[in-house]
């Protein structure tokens, strides 16, 4: 009976040993799985960290691009503002230009026909200044056999051309308000006008200009109502 109990206990011990081996194997298996899982998690963590770094770099690049775009947008707004300002100035310049062109034309047309009547260019019916495509155009109308015809500027006589040029200068001088800074006109070598016409011309101009410096040939004396000072020259 004792021997039988011993056998039984031995069998139990063997069974325990087998169970322990099974448990140990299971424990080793679980431990290995845990290690594998931990290793996998570590690898996943490393991958996620790397992806996070890449995403952060891209985010930083995107933010830098957005800041650059904001700067470009601000620069574009400044350029648009300057462009609008320049367009406004251009409109003002164009308006001023049109005004000055009109003023020159009006001043010329008023003065030339007064001068024409005063100094006696009888064969000229009308001389007028027109503005076409930002260019001035002088139109000469003569009265021949009661039929007015248009002529080019080249058909004017030398004395007529001299007077027309003088009135063009006077018109620009007054329209551009040059007289406000330089109240003096210098007229040099008006050699193609006789003394009578030159006298009448000076009488007219002294109503428009504060001071006139005139050079002339010594033949004939001017008898003008303006206060002229005569300077003799031996040249």
Q: Residue 109: which residues within 8 A CB-CB, separation 6 or more?
A: 128, 129
Q: Which residue has the higher pLDDT, 18 or 95?
A: 95
CA max distance for the chain: 178
pLDDT in the model for residue 232 = 55
Contact status, residue 159 vs residue 115, Cβ threshold 8 Å: no
Look up the pTM and report it: 0.54
Calculate ∠ Cα 60-63-64, nearest 5°: 85
pLDDT tops 50 at residue 235: no
Tell me what the mean pLDDT of segment 23-37 comes to.
77
pLDDT tops 70 at residue 65: yes
87 falls in which pLDDT band (50, 70, 90)? very high
Tell me what the mean pLDDT of segment 20-35 comes to.
78
pLDDT in the model for residue 89 = 93
Query: Hey, where are the domains in the chain?
Result: 177-234
* CA pair distance 93, 104, nearest whole angstrom: 16
pLDDT tops 70 at residue 219: no
The tens digit of pLDDT for each residue in 162-183 reads 888 888 888 888 888 888 888 8
pLDDT tops 60 at residue 79: yes
Tell me what the mean pLDDT of segment 13-26 comes to.
79
pLDDT tops 70 at residue 149: no
Which of 153, 144, 104, 103 minimizes the C-alpha distance to 123? 144
Tokens of 215: 């050079």
pLDDT tops 90 at residue 202: no
Highest mean pLDDT, choosing among 27-31, 55-59, 199-203: 55-59
Listed range (60-69, 81-90, 178-187) with the worst mean pLDDT: 178-187
The tens digit of pLDDT for each residue in 108-126 reads 888 887 887 787 776 666 6
Task: Determine phi and psi for 209, rounding to 5 degrees.
Answer: -125, 140
Listed range (34-43, 74-83, 174-183) with the worst mean pLDDT: 34-43
pLDDT tops 70 at residue 5: no
Tokens of 84: 């609008």
pLDDT in the model for residue 92 = 92
| Burial class, 153, CB count within 10 angstroms (exposed 0-12 / middle 13-18 / buried 19+) | middle
pLDDT in the model for residue 83 = 92
């Amino acid at each position: 009976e004792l021997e039988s109990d011993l056998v039984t206990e031995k069998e139990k011990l063997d069974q325990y040993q087998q169970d322990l081996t099974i448990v140990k194997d299971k424990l080793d298996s679980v431990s290995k799985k845990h290690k594998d899982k931990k290793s996998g998690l570590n690898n996943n963590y490393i991958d996620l960290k790397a992806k996070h770094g890449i995403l952060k770099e891209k985010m930083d690049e995107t933010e830098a691009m957005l800041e650059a775009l904001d700067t470009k947008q601000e620069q574009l707004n400044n350029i648009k503002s300057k462009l609008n300002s320049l367009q406004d100035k251009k409109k003002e310049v164009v308006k001023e230009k049109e005004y000055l062109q009109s003023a020159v034309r009006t001043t010329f047309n008023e003065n030339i026909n007064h001068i024409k009547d005063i100094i006696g260019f009888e064969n000229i019916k009308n001389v007028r200044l027109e503005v076409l495509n930002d260019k001035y155009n002088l139109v000469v109308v003569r009265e021949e056999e009661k039929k007015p015809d248009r002529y080019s500027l080249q058909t004017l006589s030398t004395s007529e051309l001299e007077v027309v040029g003088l009135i063009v200068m006077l018109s620009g001088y007054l329209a551009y308000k040059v007289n406000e800074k330089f109240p003096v006109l210098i007229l040099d070598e008006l050699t193609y006008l006789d003394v009578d016409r030159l006298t009448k011309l000076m009488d007219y101009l002294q109503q428009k200009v504060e001071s006139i410096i005139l050079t002339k040939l010594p033949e004939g004396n001017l008898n003008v109502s303006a206060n002229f000072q005569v300077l003799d020259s031996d040249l």
